[in-house]
């Protein structure tokens, strides 16, 4: 889903699927990029090559070079509409397995936006009905707003229905454009340090060319889409949730590190290591394929909601608000959740400067997620957040029962800065039975074995 694909490119031509392609900008079946003197509309072609450029010796080679690629040209518009986005997200869900998106709200550190009603409906329909009921896979770039932005303010990347991918440089460090947030699931490699000859990602370019300068999380997300295609080739029966579980269990820490030292690696209550920047680590294609081969479909997903109303507590830089709620995970009900996947926090909060709001969610097993970081460029003082769905993946595989705490504060200590937490709802997503105990494969996967051991003790 981008600005078009040069499907005449010799590295893409044989892998191009015309039946699954469409041009929503010109309303025809030919999603070829619109020509500009500066090659501005090369973005989609570059992303497509990372995924499916053929292994024929002519230029770039895609991660999943035997896969078919479809082009949905929808970005090259005077302005974007909910209808165009929704049509793209839902186009030929019977033919498209994976939708890759390297775009989102403006990365200016002050915008807070996400999918509208029709687009959200199309995504939900995709995960419920796409791929003949197994669920469409939506891959999203986490964004290039840098440390002054937070990808939990991007409603596309922060959605539980999408797999949000961040990027790391060729030496395992944080890229200067990386946003951080608790909804990022994993990372892949993108452009390296400035000044290196190989500082970009090699891929297809317009008019049969090849570039070595593709960059940003725009380059990271298609790499992930290619890896997911390999996993589906190994096991076509994987559901959209299976894919996310396998990502969590196979992503690697390796030498990934935050060079600012702000975001250390941590262990959650299920023994899974995560990082606020990198999610559960960098994707390991071989490990994903190995685990996918014998993967048993995870149990049915349920959600348990805990609602608080009329909190109306004020806070400032010196006096944060701490609200605690207890839950049994809807024990004894049809929607009981015993093993967590995504956790959403729908928050209504206002402040004299929205960008100074910082929020943390702590699980009953002690995992502390920063669900909103400081955004110094966000000077909003009126809109705030109204039932905004902040999301964290950091409590994956944990037990939800017990006391959850939400801490809201202002990062500035000026006396004139103030805010008010009006209400929030906690929504726990997961399964009633362990998704890992039935797995017969993955004997060499230490993450899986650690989580299985914990779940086995909990079910005794």
CATH number at residue 398: 2.60.120.260
DSSP 127-183: HHHTGGGT--EEEEE--S-GGG-BGGGBTTTT-TTEEEEEEE-TTSBBPTT--B-TT
Clarify whether residues 312 and 267 are in a common domain: no
Interval 332-355 mean pLDDT: 97
Let me know if residue 216 belongs to a domain: yes
Tokens, residue 100: 């890759």
Clarify whether residues 283 and 326 are in a common domain: no
- Provide the percentage of residues in the chain whose pLDDT is more than 90: 86
Q: How many domains does the chain have?
A: 2
HEC secondary structure over 311-329: CCEEECCCCCEEEEEEECC
Q: What is the pLDDT of residue 171?
A: 83
Let me know if residue 249 belongs to a domain: yes
- Residue 228: band (very low, low, confident or very high) from pLDDT cuts 50, 70, 90: very high
Q: What is the pLDDT of residue 198?
A: 56
Give dist(CA 255, CA 311) in Å, integer: 43
**Greater pLDDT, 249 or 194:** 249
Q: Which of 40, 156, 48 is nearest to 104 (CA)?
A: 156
Alpha helices in 330-440 (DSSP H): none
Check if the beta carbon of residue 44 is closer than 8 Å to that of residue 5. yes
Of 199-208, 278-287, 396-405, the one with minimum mean pLDDT is: 199-208
Distance in Å from the first CA to the final CA of the chain:
47
**Bridge partner list, 214:** 201
Q: What is the pLDDT of residue 197?
A: 57
Active-site annotation holder among 2, 107, 149, 178: 2
Dihedral sign (CA 52, 58, 61, 64): positive
Clarify whether residues 280 and 339 are in a common domain: no
pLDDT of 323 higher than 80: yes
Active-site annotation holder among 9, 43, 214, 263: 43
Q: What is the pLDDT of residue 224?
A: 98
- Residue 415: band (very low, low, confident or very high) from pLDDT cuts 50, 70, 90: low
Q: What is the pLDDT of residue 172?
A: 87
Q: What is the pLDDT of residue 354?
A: 96
Interval 353-364 mean pLDDT: 97
2 is catalytic: yes
Length of the chain: 460
- Residue 416: band (very low, low, confident or very high) from pLDDT cuts 50, 70, 90: confident
Let me know if residue 110 belongs to a domain: yes
For 252-282, the pLDDT digits (tens) are 999 899 888 899 999 999 999 999 999 999 9
Q: Which of 115, 135, 119, 117 is nearest to 127 (CA)?
A: 135
For 359-379, the pLDDT digits (tens) are 999 999 999 999 999 999 999
Clarify whether residues 81 and 167 are in a common domain: yes
43 is catalytic: yes
Q: Which of 171, 356, 377, 143 is nearest to 257 (CA)?
A: 171
What residues contact residue 189 under an 8 Å CB cut-off, 6+ apart?
167, 168, 169, 170, 201, 220, 223, 282
**Greater pLDDT, 442 or 339:** 339
Clarify whether residues 262 and 218 are in a common domain: yes
Mark which of 272, 293, 314 sits at the end of a domain.
Answer: 293
Q: What is the pLDDT of residue 195?
A: 60
Clarify whether residues 256 and 348 are in a common domain: no
- Residue 35: band (very low, low, confident or very high) from pLDDT cuts 50, 70, 90: confident
Active-site annotation holder among 21, 102, 182, 218: 218
Give dist(CA 248, CA 245) in Å, integer: 5
Mean pLDDT of the chain: 94
Q: Which of 448, 437, 454 is nearest to 250 (CA)?
A: 448
Q: Which of 331, 335, 330 is nearest to 300 (CA)?
A: 335
CATH number of the domain at 257, please: 3.40.50.200
- Residue 145: band (very low, low, confident or very high) from pLDDT cuts 50, 70, 90: very high
For 156-211, the pLDDT digits (tens) are 999 999 999 999 988 888 888 999 999 999 999 998 666 665 578 999 999 999 99
Number of helices and strands (H, E) in the chain? Answer: 7, 19
- Provide the percentage of residues in the chain whose pLDDT is more than 70: 98
Clarify whether residues 256 and 309 are in a common domain: no
Let me know if residue 133 belongs to a domain: yes
Clarify whether residues 313 and 235 are in a common domain: no
For 14-28, the pLDDT digits (tens) are 999 999 999 999 999
Let me know if residue 454 belongs to a domain: no
Let me know if residue 321 belongs to a domain: yes
What residues make up the domain containing 350?
Answer: 302-431
Q: What is the pLDDT of residue 59?
A: 84
Let me know if residue 273 belongs to a domain: yes
Interval 223-244 mean pLDDT: 98
- Residue 413: band (very low, low, confident or very high) from pLDDT cuts 50, 70, 90: low
């Amino acid at each position: 889903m981008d600005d078009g694909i040069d499907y005449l490119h010799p590295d893409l031509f044989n892998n191009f699927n015309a039946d699954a392609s469409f041009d929503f900008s010109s309303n025809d079946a030919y999603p070829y990029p619109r020509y500009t003197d500066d090659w501005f509309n090369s973005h989609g072609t570059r992303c497509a090559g990372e995924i499916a450029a053929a292994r024929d010796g002519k230029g770039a080679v895609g991660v999943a070079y035997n896969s078919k690629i479809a082009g949905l040209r929808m970005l090259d518009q005077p302005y974007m509409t909910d209808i165009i986005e929704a049509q793209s997200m839902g186009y030929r869900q019977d033919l498209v397995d994976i939708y890759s998106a390297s775009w989102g709200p403006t990365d200016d550190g002050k915008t807070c936006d996400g999918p509208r009603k029709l687009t959200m409906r199309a995504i939900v329909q995709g995960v419920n009905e796409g791929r003949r009921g197994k669920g469409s896979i939506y891959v999203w770039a986490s964004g290039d707003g840098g440390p002054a932005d937070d990808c939990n303010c991007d409603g596309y990347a922060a959605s539980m229905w999408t797999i949000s991918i961040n990027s790391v440089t060729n030496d395992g460090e944080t890229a200067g454009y990386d946003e951080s947030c608790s909804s990022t699931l994993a990372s892949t490699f993108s452009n390296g340090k400035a000044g290196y000859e190989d500082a970009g990602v090699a891929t297809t370019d317009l008019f049969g060319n090849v570039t070595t300068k593709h960059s940003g999380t725009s380059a990271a997300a298609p790499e992930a889409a290619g890896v997911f295609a390999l996993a589906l080739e190994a096991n076509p029966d994987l559901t959209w949730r299976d894919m996310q579980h396998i990502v969590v269990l196979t992503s690697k820490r390796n030498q990934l590190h935050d060079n600012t030292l702000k975001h250390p690696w941590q262990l959650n209550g299920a023994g899974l290591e995560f990082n606020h920047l990198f999610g559960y680590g960098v994707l390991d294609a071989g490990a994903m394929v190995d685990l996918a081969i014998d993967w048993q479909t995870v149990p049915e997903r349920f959600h348990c909601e805990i609602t608080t109303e009329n909190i109306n507590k004020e806070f400032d830089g010196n006096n944060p608000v701490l609200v605690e709620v207890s839950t049994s995970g809807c024990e004894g009900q049809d929607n009981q959740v015993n093993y967590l996947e995504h956790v959403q926090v729908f928050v209504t909060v206002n402040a004299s400067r929205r960008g100074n709001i910082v929020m943390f969610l702590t699980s009953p097993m002690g995992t502390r997620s920063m669900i909103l970081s400081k955004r110094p460029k966000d000077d909003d003082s009126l809109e705030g957040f109204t039932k905004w769905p902040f999301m964290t993946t950091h409590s994956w595989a944990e037990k939800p029962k017990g006391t959850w705490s939400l801490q809201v504060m202002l990062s500035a200590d000026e006396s004139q800065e103030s805010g008010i937490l009006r209400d929030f709802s906690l929504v726990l997503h997961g399964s009633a039975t362990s998704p890992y105990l039935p797995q017969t494969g993955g004997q060499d996967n230490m993450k899986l074995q650690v989580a299985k051991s914990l779940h086995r003790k909990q079910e005794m």
